[in-house]
Amino acid sequence: MEARDLAGLLNERARGGRPYLEFLRSGSMSIGVFVLDVGAIDGQRPHAEDEVYVVIDGRGRFTAADDTRAVVPGDTIYVPAGVPHRFHDITEQLRLIVVFAPPET
């Protein structure tokens, strides 16, 4: 078993100065925390892996392909590999758990 506390992960991510921190990697998946500030530009490109986002805190909008929706704490979003997607119109800092399967390349 491996366990990590969210506060510690968010502090580690902040110290690194980057929006994303991967904290677990296995043969079948990778997991990280992703933080986007109010008004941030999410410059993601489509990934080669399936991806799941779990919204911990914050509010904004999310677009995947031609589908756009509001995101709020507690939402879970699945994005298949290869689909263009991004967060935008962020009105409260977004803090997310991100799962890639297989691990992000």
Q: Cα dist. 25→22, 64, 99, 104 in Å?
A: 8, 25, 10, 9
pLDDT at 40: 95
For the chain, the domains span: 6-101
Question: What is the pLDDT tens value at each position of the chain, 105 positions in all?
Answer: 999 999 999 999 999 999 999 999 999 999 999 999 999 999 999 999 999 999 999 999 999 999 999 999 999 999 999 999 999 999 999 999 999 999 998
Please give the model's pTM, rounded to 2 decimal places: 0.95
Alpha-helical (H) ranges within 1-105 are: 6-16
- What CATH code would you report for 6-101? 2.60.120.10
CA dihedral angle for residue 67, residue 69, residue 73, residue 78, rounded to 10 degrees: -10
The per-residue pLDDT for 91 is 98
